[in-house]
Structure 1
Amino acid sequence: MNRVILMGRLTRDPEIRYSQGERSMTIAKYTLAVDRRGRRNQDNDQSADFINCVAFDRAGEFAEKYFRQGMRVLVSGRIQTGNYVNKDGQKVYTTDVILDDQEFADSKSAASNMGSGYAQSDPSQRPVPDSAIGDGFMNIPDDVEDEGLPFN
């Protein structure tokens, strides 16, 4: 089984290209900085892996429209390896994650408050719906029929 799930921050805005041919397709490439768990390095900085991701078609269009440098995103897909010979005649090996799914990992307000830094999301800053009760559930208006709810 070849399945990858990653959460990290975009190191820069996605690079967008369009395929040639009968049906043009959007191809978005970006790199995620994924923190490593465990030990920190000597300077007490947490180390990260930089993972190349590729999104095609609608996923590529989504990345082009909404993803920006510094955003924390959650992606899933499969690892694909390849190789090519560069202009110096050296063989170069590549590893990319071909995405099936991608989504925001932070709330909209956390992303807008982030600015250009890599600030972490603060749960106390999340917006609370107007109809929320103290236990985290929303009030259901009296005029809603029970048959319209997804449970009994």
Structure 2
Amino acid sequence: MLNNVVLVGRLTKDAELRYTPSNVAVATFTLAVNRPFKNEAGEREADFINCVIWRQAAENLANWAKKGSLIGITGSIQTRNYENQQGQRVYVTEVLASHFQLLESRHQQNQGQQQGNYDNQGGNFQSGNNQGYNPSMNTNPQQGSFFQGQTTNPMDISDDDLPF
């Protein structure tokens, strides 16, 4: 069986960082992902995909990626359900992100916001290894990542772009 997701899109708002009672970080966010085709009016439509990321990667995402940030994520699709306050069963499908990468520098992001456009090249920050937190979930580490093994040309990075 294969359950693997790779997405590139923009955050629709800042990630919401919370902590479980056992002090495990979890962030939820929505990624706007353009569809590969244009509609009848010649415009690209987007899908708004709900995502969740756990532990250190959640904290990194909340600290470094902001509304409008272009990011790439890898992970899997998960479904869950719960009973709401009205007693109705609610089903949720979301992407459980295991890794993310910022795809543009802060300078490029700020320029795009000021000019109203974005350059799809940029920064190179990847979070640490991350597995979703679910006591009933198998937590064997996944092998490989879409972003692993990619070579990049050396970049000129300003001190403002460093995460430390």
The TM-score normalised by the length of structure 2 is: 0.67
Q: Structure 2 CA distance, aligned partners of 1:101 and 1:85?
A: 30
Residue equivalent to 1:80: 78
**Alignment deviations for residues 33-87 of structure 1 (CA, whole Å, 9 cap, x no partner):** 000112x234432111111111111101101110100111000001101112222
Whether 1:25 and 2:19 are equivalent positions in the alignment is no
Structure 1 residues 116 and 98: CA distance shift in structure 2, 3 A: farther
Whether 1:101 and 2:135 are equivalent positions in the alignment is no
Unaligned runs of 5+ in 2: 123-152, 155-164
Q: Structure 2 CA distance, aligned partners of 1:61 and 1:16?
A: 7
Whether 1:4 and 2:10 are equivalent positions in the alignment is no
Alignment of 1:2-151 (within 5 A): 2-21=3-22, 24-38=23-37, 40-115=38-113, 119-121=117-119
Unaligned runs of 5+ in 1: 127-136, 139-152
Aligned to 1:37, the other structure's residue is in SS state strand
Q: Structure 1 CA distance, aligned partners of 2:61 and 2:12?
A: 13
- Read off the aligned partner of 2:111 and give its amino acid letter: N
Contact 1:70–1:118, Cα closer than 8 Å, also in 2: no
- Read off the aligned partner of 1:35 and give its amino acid letter: N
Q: What value does the CA root-mean-square deviation take over the aligned residues?
A: 2.2
Q: Structure 1 CA distance, aligned partners of 2:36 and 2:17?
A: 31
Structure 1 residues 102 and 79: CA distance shift in structure 2, 3 A: same
Q: Structure 1 CA distance, aligned partners of 2:102 and 2:13?
A: 15
Contact 2:109–2:118, Cα closer than 8 Å, also in 1: no
Matched pairs, number? 123
Q: Structure 2 CA distance, aligned partners of 1:83 and 1:117?
A: 42
Larger-gyration structure (1/2) = 1
Q: Structure 2 CA distance, aligned partners of 1:89 and 1:44?
A: 43
Aligned to 1:29, the other structure's residue is in SS state strand
- Read off the aligned partner of 1:16 and give its amino acid letter: L
Contact 1:70–1:116, Cα closer than 8 Å, also in 2: no
Aligned to 2:44, the other structure's residue is in SS state coil
Contact 1:70–1:117, Cα closer than 8 Å, also in 2: no
The TM-score normalised by the length of structure 1 is: 0.72
